[in-house]
Amino acid sequence: MSQVSPPEGDLTAQSRAVLALAVRLAREAGEIQRSRYEGEHEIETKSAAIDLVTEVDTQCEALIVSGIRTERPDDAILAEEGGDHANQAAAWRWIIDPLDGTVNYAHGFPRFCVSIGVEYRGERQVGVVYDPLLDECFEAVRNAGAFLGQRRLEVSRTPKLAEALVATGFAYDVHRSDVDNVQNFGHMLKAARGLRRDGSAALDLCYVAAGRLDAYWEFKLHPWDVAAGILIVEEAGGVVTNSLAGPVPVSGDDILSTNGAIHAEVLAQLNQ
C-alpha cells in the first residue's frame, strides 16, 4: 500500500522524534562499549581472519534494534550483525553499525563509535554517530545542519591538498585482493600534509564534517559504515561523491568526502 508523504512540518517533527530516539539508543549502546572497553572480549571472525565481531557488537545491536522495535515497530531496519527487520512498505529505514571500529575495540585502541543513519523514503534524513570515550555525539537532520553538542559543524577551509590532513581505510579482503587501495595510499602519502588510517569510517566522516580532517576516502564499505556520516558531512557543507566524482553508490562502497575546496585535487590523486 503506498503511503502519502506527510506535510513538511510533520516531516520535521517526525525527524526530530527519530533523532531523539537515535541519540538515546546510540548513547545507551555507547555506554555498553565504554563500560566493557577494558575487559576481555569474546572475539569471532566473519568474512576474513581480520574481520572481527565481539560480544559487544552483538549486544549493542540487540539493544538498538529492540529499542526501535519497541518505539517504532513499523520501521524497517538494516543492521550489520543481522538484526534486520525488512518491511518494504515502511517509510523510515534505520541503518545501524552497532560498533564501528571493531578491530580497534578488540585491541583496546580508543577509536570506535556507534553509527545510526535513518532514511525517509530512501533519502538520508537523520544521522547520529556517538563516540563513547570522548562523549562526542555527532548528529544531523537533512536541511537542518550538523551538530556536535550545541556546536554547528562546518568543514575546514583548507585550500589545497598539500596543507590537508587526510584519512582512508582498507577493506577486510586486503590480504587477498589486488583492489586494495594501497597504491592510492602511496600517492596520497606523498601529496597531503598528513595521512591517517584510524579504523572507524563513521568517525572519519564526522571528522571531515568537524574540520578535523580535510578529506577521507575508502572502498568496499557497507551501507551501515556511511549511512549517518554522509548526511553529517553534507550538512556541514562538505562534498561527498564516489572516487570518479559521481554519486556514492547505494552500497556506500566507494566514497570520497572532502571540504569541497580540495575535492578536485583528491580526485586527481585517486585517478592517476
- Strand 215-219 versus strand 165-168 pairing type: parallel
- Asked if 32 touches ligand IPD (CB under 6 A), the answer is no
* 139, 204, 225, 254: residue in contact with Ca ion (rule CB under 5 A): 225
75 contacts 85 by C-beta, under 8 angstroms: yes
Minimum CB–partner distance for residue 241 and ligand IPD (Å):
18
Minimum CB–partner distance for residue 192 and ligand IPD (Å):
18
Helices (H), the chain: 8-36, 55-71, 102-107, 182-191, 201-209, 223-235, 263-270
Site string for ligand IPD, 177-206 (x = CB under 6 A): ----------------------xxx-----
Minimum CB–partner distance for residue 209 and ligand IPD (Å):
16
Nearest to 120 by CA among 2, 24, 11, 197: 11
φ/ψ of 44, rounded to 5, equals -125, 160
- Helices vs. strands in the chain: H and E counts, helices first: 7, 14
Site string for Ca ion, 75-94 (x = CB under 5 A): -----x--------------
116 contacts 64 by C-beta, under 8 angstroms: yes
- Asked if 252 touches ligand IPD (CB under 6 A), the answer is no
Residues 6+ away with beta carbon under 8 Å from 76? 85, 86, 87, 88, 90, 92, 93, 94
- Asked if 132 touches ligand IPD (CB under 6 A), the answer is no
- Asked if 102 touches ligand IPD (CB under 6 A), the answer is yes
Q: Which of residues 210-229 bind ligand IPD (CB under 6 A)?
A: 218, 221, 225
**Kind and range of the H or E element at 240?**
strand 239-241
Site string for Ca ion, 39-78 (x = CB under 5 A): ----------------------------------------
**Residues near ligand IPD, by CB under 6 A:** 97, 100-102, 169-171, 199-201, 218, 221, 225
